[in-house]
Structure 1
């Protein structure tokens, strides 16, 4: 959830900044005058086109960003599940270079993208639902007394962003979670291949573990939405406001990328243990293996802490850090590029 939260922050913050830099007030004013002259059905059609464009831009940007950082994402997953079926005392100190070399020599270079297809199949609907639901929830929350859209009420605005982002994240995660679980199981496979693809994995998991087996670890995911968004929003908004007040002429794109990356690192640091617990719960019973964690979310957390210590809760944090900056940057730039492209296409029609 960390990545999704920070991407939403950067894209939204960057878009606001870009609008301001390009004379957003004038554009908005012209749009209002133009909309008053248009028939109602034409406005509805434009609104629908805008929604579709936003869904496409968000989905493609999220999938492309994840594809580019897939090698680091797989390393993160492999480190996170170390110690799950092994004697912790015999584990070597995690080494990104050593694990990367092992993947190349034993599985081939393409193995860095193992599970990438299901990741795209998950990320496209996830990003699309997340962006779309966020806008819908935000408009719904602004109808609540005390949370109306008021430029002078900063606390109400932050509350709308936080609640809207949290509800959107919960909605998107719940709707697409089985694909996230399948992606984890495919990426965690090394030399022994038990799941041969997306549909094969979905079928085997449903048959051996039941429908609820497709939702293992969902509780950890939903529990991490609130803290992840709270940290991301607070760090991002504080840094961006401070930066713009001291250096108002800096590129809004650079400001958004830098602040989004820092907020992502802060969010990952705090919520990474929940992400690790989620991954391990997703692998419970995978490949016909016996279950290890049988006491639920908090029992799993306690089991890992007792057997592996605090450092065990942060296995894989380094590759997670390394993918934050490129992940945010790629997603932001692709999203903005696609929006400009769709805008040009719409204007030429």
Structure 2
């Protein structure tokens, strides 16, 4: 056989090339799901890293951390908070809990964007079949599934970011252990003052540093709460119900707004200015979705740190809503919203832009 005939024979495709072809041709294939998931995971990590310091301060504001309550309510307070954190712990303090964030964000964003692609293709196989209701459904469904599978990592991240006292800071493994053992309604052991002449006196243990003081008596836990918290992993899902309620408008409106805005961009302009279009559409989507879901986020953060303030029981969403209202009225549900915009607008823009860039790089 001549060299020419050998050269004319088609080369056998490698495994990677075959995988690429399957992903490009079949959006229901595992190859497409893996590539889409990696694209989403990378997008989430890049976006979260860009806004990590703002995220840390926002959590401290939302959870009414006692050391930072004096800074709430102004952009100057944001600057002073960042300055104090940096002065106390350096750049590492601004990124406290960020490793846990990345451990959560990669699977969370990967699952969310991957499921959105699959649900979108299933519900809306063509551009003409796209409707606002379908876009909202695809976004909400993917967001709920992603948050369910990664919620324990989110809770761990919030607990790490909530700590401000250097001497009392715990590492990732210690936080996991603390949360795991918050599954008992038994009261903490009393501190006994030894005295031979007087009866034994029990006093309550000192309040945990960083937890805002409250004189409001806590209602007794319900029978359902007692039963629920006997499940070993239940403490890792503090605030999960309110998170799902908030995820529906957040993810649904975010994908709906982004999809609708992208559809309004002329095809020629969209091809020539892809990055600008993605950034602009993502920014608007971030503003709209953040405004719609922010009260849910405030309640969720307060519930997530409930184990710090009450490790022997669960803090319910109704109780948390009452506490937020009592302290700040309706404005209490929007504490840190300005920081939220500063964080979510660039984060959403970068996330959608990186997601689209990665998909183009993977040619899917």
CA deviation after TM superposition for structure 1 residue 192, in Å: 4.8
Contact 1:58 1:131 in 2 (8 A): yes
Report the alpha carbon displacement of residue 59 of structure 1 after superposing the two structures with TM: 0.8
From 298, 306, 324, the equivalent of 2:344 is: 324
**1:1-349 paired onto structure 2 within 5 Å:** 44=22, 47-82=29-64, 93-94=73-74, 95-140=77-122, 142=123, 149=125, 151-155=127-131, 158-192=132-166, 194=168, 196-209=170-183, 210-244=232-266, 251-286=273-308, 289-290=309-310, 296-343=316-363
- Retained in 2: the 8 A contact 1:244–1:250? no
Report the Cα distance in structure 1 between the residues aligned to 2:271 and 2:22, rounded to whole angstroms: 37
- CA-based RMSD of the aligned residues comes to 3.3
- Following superposition, the deviation at residue 214 of structure 1 comes to 0.6
User: Structure 1, residues 90-129: CA drift from partner, whole Å, max 9, x if none?
Assistant: 7764411111111111222221000000001001111111
Unaligned ranges ≥5, structure 2: 1-17, 184-231
CA distance in 2, matches of 1:277, 1:313: 7
TM-score by length of 1: 0.73
Larger mean CA deviation between 180-189 and 218-227 belongs to 218-227
Q: Is the 8 A contact 1:281 1:293 kept in 2?
A: no
Query: CA-to-partner distance for each residue in 1:160-181, whole Å, 9 max, x for gaps?
Result: 3222221111111011101000
SS at match of 1:114: coil
Give the Å deviation of 1:196.
2.6
Any conservation in 2 of the 1:195–1:201 contact (CA below 8 Å)?
Answer: no
Give CA-to-partner distance per residue, 1:203-246, whole Å, 9 cap, x none. Answer: 22112335211100111110012222343345444544455499
Q: CA deviation at 1:279?
A: 0.6
Give distance in 2, aligned partners of 1:247 and 1:44. 30
Give the number of the structure with larger relative contact order, counting CA–CA contacts within 8 Å between residues 6 or more apart.
Answer: 1
CA contact (8 A) 2:71 2:81 kept: no
- Tell me how far apart the structure 2 counterparts of residues 119 and 302 of structure 1 sit (CA, whole Å): 29
Please report how far the alpha carbon of residue 184 of structure 1 lies from its aligned counterpart in structure 2 after TM superposition: 0.3
Q: Give the count of matched residue pairs.
A: 293
Instruction: Give deviations 1:63-106, integer Å, cap 9, x for gaps.
Output: 12111210011111111112x66898x77644111111111112
Residues 129, 280 of structure 1: alpha-carbon distance in 2 compared, 3 angstrom cutoff: same
**Structure-2-length-normalised TM-score:** 0.70
Rounded to whole Å, the distance in 1 between the matches of 2:90 and 2:81 is 12
Question: Alpha carbons of 1:257 and 1:67: their partners in 2 closer, same or farther (altered >3 Å)?
Answer: same
- With 328-337 and 103-112 compared, the bigger mean Cα shift is at 328-337
How far off its partner does 1:54 sit?
1.9
List per-residue Cα deviations over 1:236-285 (Å, max 9, x = no partner). 44544455499778724322321221121122122111101101100002
